[in-house]
């Protein structure tokens, strides 16, 4: 997989820990690889997947989400490798039926507001729009 290089100072800031503890963000993987970034699904995205695949138990759904997440992150890394340096940082759109038939998956990279950690959030356009509306105001 190609390596992602993103400037955290150009990414939206979120309180990742609080959002994860409150369930607004849900881990998309059980473990993050040493060279990877933590990946989250929006709560709405997780609920949509659970509703779309009611026959899958939680362990099977988690495995499917992890596999899809690796594929989506590979797509994001390949996209970064071909982007111009001044391109909008950290938002990638991938055609996928992950959430809906003939839909798009949005991947946004964000930074934690209190720690120097970059994370990825996966969801639909509406899910990502909602998450980004929770960002802290820019410092003046």
Residue 138 lies in a domain: no
**Phi, psi torsion values for 72, nearest 5 degrees:** -65, -40
CA distance 67 to 63: 6
Per residue in 44-61, pLDDT (tens digit) is: 999 988 888 888 888 898
Q: Is residue 140 part of a domain?
A: no
- The per-residue pLDDT string of the chain (140 residues; one tens digit each, 9 = 90 and over) reads 445 567 787 888 999 999 999 999 999 998 888 878 899 999 999 998 888 888 888 889 899 999 999 888 887 777 766 765 555 567 888 888 888 777 889 999 999 998 878 899 999 999 999 988 875 544 43
* Cα→Cα distances 32→40, 95, 120, Å: 11, 24, 11
In a domain, 3, yes or no: no
Q: Quick check: is 1 in a domain?
A: no
Does residue 72 lie in a domain region?
yes
SS3 92: strand
Confidence (pLDDT) at 22: 93
What pLDDT, on a 0 to 100 scale, did the predictor assign at position 5? 64
DSSP string, 104-129: EEEEEEEEESSSS-EEEEEE-HHHHH
- What's the chain's length in residues? 140
Res 99: pLDDT: 83
What is the domain count for the chain?
1
Q: Which domain covers residue 35, as residue numbers?
A: 8-132
Residue-level pLDDT at 1: 45
- With residue 13 as reference, give the H or E element that holds it: strand 13-14
* pLDDT of res. 140: 38
> Domain for residue 121, yes or no?
yes
Whether residue 78 lies inside any domain: the answer is yes
What is the pTM (predicted TM-score) of this model?
0.84
């Amino acid at each position: 997989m190609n390596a992602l290089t993103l400037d955290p100072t150009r990414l939206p800031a979120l309180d990742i820990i609080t959002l994860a503890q409150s369930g607004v963000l849900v881990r998309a993987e059980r473990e993050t690889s040493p060279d990877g970034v933590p990946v989250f699904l929006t709560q709405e995205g997780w609920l949509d997947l659970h509703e779309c695949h009611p026959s899958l138990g939680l362990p099977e759904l988690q495995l499917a989400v992890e596999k899809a997440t690796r594929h989506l992150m590979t797509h994001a890394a390949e996209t970064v490798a071909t982007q111009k340096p001044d391109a909008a940082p950290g938002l990638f759109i991938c055609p996928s039926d992950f959430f809906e038939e003939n839909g798009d998956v949005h991947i946004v990279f964000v930074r934690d507001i209190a720690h120097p950690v970059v994370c990825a959030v996966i969801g639909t356009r509406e899910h990502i729009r909602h998450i980004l509306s929770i960002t802290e105001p820019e410092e003046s």
